[in-house]
Amino acid sequence: MELFNHLLMGFSVALEPGNLIYCFLGVLIGTLVGVLPGIGPVGAMSLLLPATFHISPVSSIIMLAGIFYGSQYGGSTTSILVNIPGEAASVMTCLDGYQMARQGRAGPALGIAAFGSFIAGTLGILGLILIAPPLVDFALRFGPPEYFSLMVLGLTILTFLTSSSMIRALMMASLGLALGTVGLDTISGLSRFTFTVPELLDGIGLVPLVMGLFGISEVLLNIERTIARDVFTTKVAGLLPSMADWARSIWAILRGTVIGFFLGTLPGGGAVISSFAAYAIEKRVSRHPEEFGRGAIEGVAAPEAANNSAAQASFIPLLTLGIPSNVTMAMLLGALIIQGVTPGPLLLSQHPDLFWGVIASMYVGNVMLLALNLPLIGLWVRLLSVPYSILFPLIVIFCMIGSYSINNSTTDVLLMLGFGVAGYLLKKLSLETAPLVLAFVLGPMLETSLRQSLIKSEGGFGIFFSRPISAVCLIAAFALVVMPLLPWCQRRPGALIDGEETT
Amino acid sequence: MLVSDLVWLAVGGAFCLGGLHLGFGSFRQPHAGFMPVLAGLTLAGLTAIDLTVGLLSGWSQEKRDADIWADINPGRLLATALVLLAYTLLFTTLGFVLATIPLLAFLFRLMQARAWWVVLSASVGVTGLFYAGFKFGLDCQLPRGLFWF
């Protein structure tokens, strides 16, 4: 009954006219950036983060969350019609979705992607509602050692999944941790690596870092090469899947939902790996595995359901523990902190309107997305023809204004440019930026937890192993680091998604 | 990848030295330099492993440093980076509108060869839209410069 009352309160917040508009804006922008390859949800959120300073915390988080789960919907359109994933989580949808489009079945492919996403998204929110409140009570028992170990596990999982070279992903995570130390030391008050630049006393800003690494670097990469896009020109018709399509897809959608939800709740997990796992499992359990890659509708339904379910589930570690499980959640964490809201176990009691309002807005957003993605599919198809030569100059100006308007500081813009060039070089060198950003965000929390734990234990590392949750997390992290060294475990999921942004 | 590994070794070393300069403290009482030293050591250590693996395998599975820069137009990249730097340094002096129009004109022209009148009118229009949207729509502070816009 209490849960029902909370949900009612959430809907009263989410259905306020202002919040409805921001929710619609969020899912609209999310679908847009999902449809357009090259701008992921992280880039879009970093571009819009400064614009959220002028609106309430609830509205801003509703909008930013909408961008995230909206992009999961939009990504499938580009995968099916262009054979280019609109964002990383839609990579698997290309395999069968594009083949279906080539066979004249683009409509059912787009339809099952939208319906599958809706079903998975709705069930994912239900899971979030049921799991988050008990987890909050559990999280209240967490001390610095547990937080430290959980963050180490999250970073390890992300590096394990991100790239084919775990060493290089860990190098990037170390660099992120090092960059996170710039600014005033919160315990001693000493300034670190600020080089007498007053703007650096608060540390390197998340917005310049992300805008540089994800926005400017993408523009620089596209200046050196031109991406050709051939939109599949067959008329998109018959969006409603047939009964036979539903019969083949419904279990794939449900399996994808469950897989996505559990992988999404893991720190370091997320939509990308969920869609890979769902596709692989679906192929394994299918009676017609030979049809996968040749236009099997289950090959579209399962990964689309998984990435949407994972998108909802990844809110659980952020809202209950205050730990972002991936880069997109790190952006949301940054937005919450900027708004003066500290996510974590106390969020539910201190800001119930935000907690339940955001959850309820996801239901509303999912309905909006279904309406946006089915009747308006023609509009999204036309948008695919917007040339990069127009799009990328606009991204540059967005980045410039975005990084300047936070503190009205040219230093932030210079930092963003520096990170833009660095991001370009990192991408050229096949080094992942996702672990760097997540480690950068987690760095200050991780450092504080580590130092508090060591002070509490008088320098003994036993404190991390004498507490069960902490010990389990560290052992799991160690196992993930060691696994690639074992000959029978060398084929990691990261090898499949090498080069893709894990968000 | 030899050059990049050497760069990461240097970066890791720099954070270690900086951390030691700040004061490492002890495990019982960690000081401000504790985390920079740990992060720098980890970065340098992992880079050393990557370097060793690369050297032992003769960089057989790696892209060579020279390969990364093949088939690119360094002039376009350098010009873009310099124009963006100039824009950053000048836009507080010139103001948002006056600085953004030439930047957009440069980028539009660089991305695709179009007639100058198309490029210029698009740049003026887009700058106006951005100015109106951010200044009046979102109440953002944009640099006013010499002519107050």
What pLDDT, on the 0 to 100 scale, is given for residue A475? 94
Chain A nearest CA to B148, separation (Å): 15
Q: Flag whether B67 is in a domain.
A: no
Average pLDDT over all residues of chain A: 84
Nearest chain A residue (CA) to B138? A51
Would you tell me which residues 185-214 of chain A have a C-beta closer than 8 angstroms to some C-beta of chain B?
A: 185, 187-188, 190, 192-193
Provide the β-strand partners of residue B30: B25
Q: Flag whether B40 is in a domain.
A: yes
B22-45: average pLDDT: 94
Asked if residue B39 and residue B89 are part of one domain, the reply reads no
Three-state DSSP class for residue B30: strand
Asked if residue B130 and residue B83 are part of one domain, the reply reads yes
Asked if residue B79 and residue B131 are part of one domain, the reply reads yes
Asked if residue B80 and residue B41 are part of one domain, the reply reads no
What pLDDT, on the 0 to 100 scale, is given for residue A457? 93
pLDDT classification of A86: cutoffs 50, 70, 90:
low
Residue A293: name the closest of A84, A92, A495 by CA: A92
pLDDT beyond 60 at A194:
yes
Asked if residue B91 and residue B33 are part of one domain, the reply reads no
Q: Flag whether B124 is in a domain.
A: yes
Asked if residue B90 and residue B40 are part of one domain, the reply reads no
pLDDT digits (tens, 9 = 90+) for A409-423: 899 999 999 999 999
Query: Looking at per-residue confidence, does A384 or A179 come out higher?
Result: A179
Q: Which of B62, B88, B104 is the endpoint of a domain?
A: B62
Q: Can you give A5-26 as a three-state secondary structure string? A: HHHHHHHHHHCCHHHHHHHHHH
pLDDT digits (tens, 9 = 90+) for A19-46: 999 999 999 988 888 887 666 777 778 7
Query: Looking at per-residue confidence, does A122 or A488 come out higher?
Result: A122
Q: Flag whether B68 is in a domain.
A: no
Q: Does A414 touch chain B (CB under 8 A)?
A: yes
pLDDT beyond 80 at A51:
no
Asked if residue B87 and residue B52 are part of one domain, the reply reads no
Average pLDDT over all residues of chain B: 87
Cβ–Cβ below 8 Å for B39 and A177: yes
pLDDT beyond 50 at A261:
yes
Q: Give chain B positions within 8 Å (CB) of A413.
A: 88
Q: Give chain A positions within 8 Å (CB) of B75.
A: none
Asked if residue B43 and residue B6 are part of one domain, the reply reads yes
Query: Looking at per-residue confidence, does A302 or B64 come out higher?
Result: A302
What pLDDT, on the 0 to 100 scale, is given for residue B62? 56
Cβ–Cβ below 8 Å for B88 and A454: no
pLDDT classification of B66: cutoffs 50, 70, 90:
low
Cβ–Cβ below 8 Å for A174 and B68: no
pLDDT digits (tens, 9 = 90+) for A346-374: 888 888 888 899 989 998 998 998 888 87
Best mean pLDDT range from A39-43, A178-182, A374-378:
A178-182
pLDDT classification of A233: cutoffs 50, 70, 90:
low
Query: Looking at per-residue confidence, does A180 or A401 come out higher?
Result: A180
Probe site for chain A from B1, B2, B4 (most A CB atoms < 10 A):
B4
What pLDDT, on the 0 to 100 scale, is given for residue A331? 83
Q: CB pairs under 8 A, 24+ apart, for B125-133?
A: B126/A393, B126/A394, B126/A397, B127/B96, B127/B97, B127/B100, B127/B101, B128/B97, B130/A397, B130/A401, B130/B100, B131/B96, B131/B97, B131/B100
Asked if residue B51 and residue B9 are part of one domain, the reply reads yes
Residue B74: name the closest of A421, A393, A419, A426 by CA: A421
What pLDDT, on the 0 to 100 scale, is given for residue A471? 94
pLDDT beyond 80 at A122:
yes
Write the residue in B22, B26, B141 that is nearest to A192 by C-beta. Answer: B22
pLDDT digits (tens, 9 = 90+) for A136-152: 777 777 889 998 998 89
Cβ–Cβ below 8 Å for B50 and A443: no
pLDDT digits (tens, 9 = 90+) for A269-282: 677 778 888 888 88
What pLDDT, on the 0 to 100 scale, is given for residue B149? 65
pLDDT digits (tens, 9 = 90+) for A292-306: 888 899 999 999 999
pLDDT digits (tens, 9 = 90+) for A441-470: 889 889 999 999 999 999 999 999 999 989
Q: Flag whether B92 is in a domain.
A: yes
Q: Flag whether B37 is in a domain.
A: yes
Cα end-to-end distance, chain A, whole Å: 35
Would you tell me which residues 257-286 of chain A have a C-beta closer than 8 angstroms to some C-beta of chain B?
A: none
What pLDDT, on the 0 to 100 scale, is given for residue A458? 92
Cα dist. A426→A76, A217, A434 in Å?
Answer: 27, 9, 11
Q: Does A353 touch chain B (CB under 8 A)?
A: no
Between CA A466 and CA A370 the distance in angstroms is 49
What pLDDT, on the 0 to 100 scale, is given for residue A191? 93
Asked if residue B58 and residue B81 are part of one domain, the reply reads no
The count of structural domains within chain B is 2
Nearest chain B residue (CA) to A407? B141
pLDDT classification of A498: cutoffs 50, 70, 90:
very low
pLDDT classification of A234: cutoffs 50, 70, 90:
low
What pLDDT, on the 0 to 100 scale, is given for residue A235? 61
Record the tokens describing residue B61, joined without a space: 């599975």
CA dihedral B106, B108, B112, B114 (to 10 degrees): -90
Would you tell me which residues 371-390 of chain A have a C-beta closer than 8 angstroms to some C-beta of chain B?
A: 387-390
Record the tokens describing residue B87, joined without a space: 């824009």
Q: Give chain B positions within 8 Å (CB) of A451.
A: 30, 34-35
Q: Which of B17, B33, B62 is the endpoint of a domain?
A: B62
Asked if residue B52 and residue B82 are part of one domain, the reply reads no
A12-21: average pLDDT: 93
Which is it for the CA torsion A366, A368, A370, A372, positive or negative? negative
pLDDT digits (tens, 9 = 90+) for A103-112: 888 889 988 9
Q: Flag whether B125 is in a domain.
A: yes
Lowest pLDDT segment from A210-214, A481-485, B37-41, B74-78: A481-485
Cβ–Cβ below 8 Å for B100 and A397: yes
Would you tell me which residues 27-56 of chain A have a C-beta closer than 8 angstroms to some C-beta of chain B?
A: 50-51, 54
Cβ–Cβ below 8 Å for A401 and B81: no
Write the residue in A177, A393, A461 that is nearest to B111 by C-beta. Answer: A393
Q: Flag whether B47 is in a domain.
A: yes
- The whole-model pTM stands at 0.82
A471-482: average pLDDT: 90
Domain that holds residue B108: 74-147
B133-147: average pLDDT: 78
Cβ–Cβ below 8 Å for A54 and B103: no
Give percent of chain A with pLDDT exceeding 90.
27
Provide the β-strand partners of residue A191: A184
Cβ pairs A/B, distance under 8 A: 156
pLDDT beyond 70 at A231:
no
Asked if residue B55 and residue B13 are part of one domain, the reply reads yes
What pLDDT, on the 0 to 100 scale, is given for residue A483? 80
pLDDT beyond 60 at A154:
yes
Q: Which of B62, B83, B99 is the endpoint of a domain?
A: B62
